[in-house]
């Protein structure tokens, strides 16, 4: 095994070292005058045609062409030229989505398994979800380092689902996007979906001048995990929070769904695209204007202003103080609500009359399930408790039936329902449900399949 690991490392180095050497030697190469003039003219043309504002695009294009004529870019390497152009763009436009940089056109395929594995915006950084934990007093904490890239959308959605499943029973939630530089907006919309009751709620629109095209983001129509629509949320931001991370804070702030704590953010509200200028050089241009549905504007050049301003270092402590207070309030309300619902269900079970109360019992079990008060196992236990009290219990039959509605893909719930039906003399219906249990057991490779088959055969013999 050790020899195999050494061999894999050797192969990895043999693949990467030539490419790395090529990158280094080319990066440090001084750009000659003729190539420089062509580069600047091409970059100016791209900026003038594609920047959000035509007027500002022309202004930036004219500025860098004048700088080139004055010799400001002479005797620079590709890396130095990129830094100087980025500084000049920022000076003219004050737009953080404007940059230029050395980027050698890759010799290896962009989407090779190796490049995907090593991508710092992908698997290597867990798609941005770097920390997920429980703080004192049942406060959840989620640290998001970045909002990844479009090509990792499906993987990133899975990380959102897993993260929020682990935090769904907390009393308050702190989401930390300090020093998060951004990413792409669709994953922001997917995350926001968990905190908003409405489905397909329009969040933001974007307009691209040079394409004369609009697009938008909305909350998801459905989610695989339980929504957290009533949990108090606190979002931590600082001067390093930019772009899509700002979008996340801005959306929740103006939907009155979160308290924003920390420092005013970068102010990078425009969306951007990357354009290749040559084999060695690329430019990032702000091409999309953001329009928030609530405010009808964005945080461009002003940043997201927090509800509570504090230093970046103190933001978490302040959030903890508030989360503990709001979390306790929420827990008290939930306990009161749960007690009332459970009392209603107990009352219904005590006064149960066959057929007349069936729908009421099923609906109350559904309600408890939606609130997280019961699950498949606890509903099954409830049914067997009723069977222990009275072997021919019609109410146990109704409880097991409710479980088949809630967990229609579980073989075990059909087996339990069939048992109650058989005890109540409904053998034909019992056989049908034992058969469903066997079919699902085979499909799901259930470890209890042999038991389901045995129960089915016994029921068939009794018929």
Per-residue pLDDT for 345 more than 80?
A: no
Per-residue pLDDT for 152 more than 50?
A: yes
- 48-57, 121-130, 278-287, 370-379: segment of lowest average pLDDT: 370-379
Residue 68 to residues 56, 62, 350, 403, Cα–Cα distance (Å):
18, 10, 87, 73
Tokens for 138?
């049942």
Per-residue pLDDT for 232 more than 50?
A: yes
- 4-8, 184-188, 385-389, 442-446: segment of lowest average pLDDT: 4-8
Q: Which residues contact residue 77 at a Cβ distance below 8 angstroms, ignoring those fewer than 6 apart?
A: 27, 28, 29, 30, 31, 102
407-419 burial code (b ≥16 CB/10 A, e <16): beebbbbbbbbbb
- pLDDT for residue 342: 67
Q: How far is the C-alpha of 418 from the C-alpha of 439, rounded, in Å?
A: 14
Per-residue pLDDT for 180 more than 70?
A: yes
Give residue-wise pLDDT tens across range 242-257: 999 999 999 999 999 9
> In angstroms, how far is the first alpha carbon of the chain from the final one?
59
Arithmetic mean of pLDDT, 143-170: 95
Per-residue pLDDT for 406 more than 50?
A: yes
- pLDDT for residue 6: 44
Give residue-wise pLDDT tens across range 215-226: 999 999 999 988
Residue 222 to residues 17, 41, 151, 409, Cα–Cα distance (Å):
46, 48, 21, 19
Neighbours of 39 (CB within 10 A): 23
Arithmetic mean of pLDDT, 322-329: 95
The residue with greater pLDDT, 353 or 197, is: 197
Mean pLDDT, all residues of the chain: 89
**Sorting pLDDT into bands at 50, 70 and 90, what band is 338?**
low
Q: How far is the C-alpha of 106 from the C-alpha of 25, rounded, in Å?
A: 14
Q: What is the pTM of this model?
A: 0.75
- pLDDT for residue 201: 97
Per-residue pLDDT for 263 more than 80?
A: yes
Arithmetic mean of pLDDT, 19-32: 62
- pLDDT for residue 108: 46
Q: At 284, which helix (H) or strand (E)?
A: strand 281-292
Q: Which residues contact residue 123 at a Cβ distance below 8 angstroms, ignoring those fewer than 6 apart?
A: 116, 117, 155
Q: Which residues contact residue 224 at a Cβ distance below 8 angstroms, ignoring those fewer than 6 apart?
A: 161
Per-residue pLDDT for 23 more than 50?
A: no
Query: Beta partners for 271?
Result: 288
Spatial CA neighbour of 300 closest among 312, 311, 286: 286
């Amino acid at each position: 095994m050790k020899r195999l690991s050494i061999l894999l490392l050797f192969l990895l180095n043999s693949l990467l070292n030539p490419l790395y050497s090529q990158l280094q030697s080319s990066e440090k190469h001084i750009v000659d005058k003729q190539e420089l003039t062509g580069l600047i003219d091409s970059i100016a043309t791209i900026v003038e045609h594609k920047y959000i504002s035509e007027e500002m695009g022309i202004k930036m294009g004219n500025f860098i062409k004048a700088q080139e004529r004055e010799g400001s870019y002479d005797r620079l390497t590709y890396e130095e030229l990129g830094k100087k152009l980025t500084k000049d763009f920022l000076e003219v436009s004050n737009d953080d989505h404007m940059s230029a940089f050395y980027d050698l056109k890759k010799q290896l395929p962009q989407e090779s398994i190796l490049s995907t594995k090593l991508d710092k915006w992908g698997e290597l950084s867990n798609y941005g979800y770097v920390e997920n934990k429980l703080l004192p007093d049942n406060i959840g904490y989620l640290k998001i380092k970045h909002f990844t890239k479009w090509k990792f959308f499906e993987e990133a959605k899975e990380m959102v689902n897993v993260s929020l499943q682990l935090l769904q029973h907390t009393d308050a939630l702190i989401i930390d996007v300090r020093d998060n530089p951004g990413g792409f907006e669709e994953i922001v919309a997917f995350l926001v979906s968990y905190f908003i009751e409405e489905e397909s709620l329009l969040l933001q629109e974007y307009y691209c001048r040079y394409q004369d095209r609009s697009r938008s983001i909305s909350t998801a129509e459905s989610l695989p995990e339980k929504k957290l629509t009533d949990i108090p949320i606190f979002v931590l931001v600082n001067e390093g929070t930019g772009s899509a991370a700002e979008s996340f804070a801005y959306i929740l702030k103006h939907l009155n769904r979160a308290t924003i704590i920390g420092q005013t953010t970068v102010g990078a509200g425009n969306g951007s695209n990357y354009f290749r200028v040559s084999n060695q050089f690329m430019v990032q241009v702000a091409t999309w204007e953001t329009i928030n549905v609530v405010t009808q504007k964005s945080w461009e050049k002003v940043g997201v202003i927090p509800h509570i301003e504090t230093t970046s270092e103190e933001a978490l402590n302040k959030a903890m103080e508030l989360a503990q207070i709001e979390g306790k309030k929420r827990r008290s309300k939930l306990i009161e609500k749960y007690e009332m619902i459970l009392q209603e269900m107990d009352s219904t079970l005590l006064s149960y009359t066959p057929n007349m109360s069936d729908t009421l019992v099923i609906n109350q079990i559904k309600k408890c399930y939606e609130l997280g008060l019961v699950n498949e196992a606890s509903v099954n236990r409830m049914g067997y408790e009723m069977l222990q009290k009275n072997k021919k219990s019609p109410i146990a039959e109704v409880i097991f039936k409710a479980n088949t509605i809630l967990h229609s893909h579980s073989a075990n719930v059909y087996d339990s329902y069939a048992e109650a039906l058989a005890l109540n003399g409904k053998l034909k219906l019992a056989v049908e449900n034992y058969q469903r249990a066997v079919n699902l057991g085979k499909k799901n490779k259930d470890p209890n399949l042999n038991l389901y088959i045995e129960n089915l055969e016994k029921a068939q013999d009794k018929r």
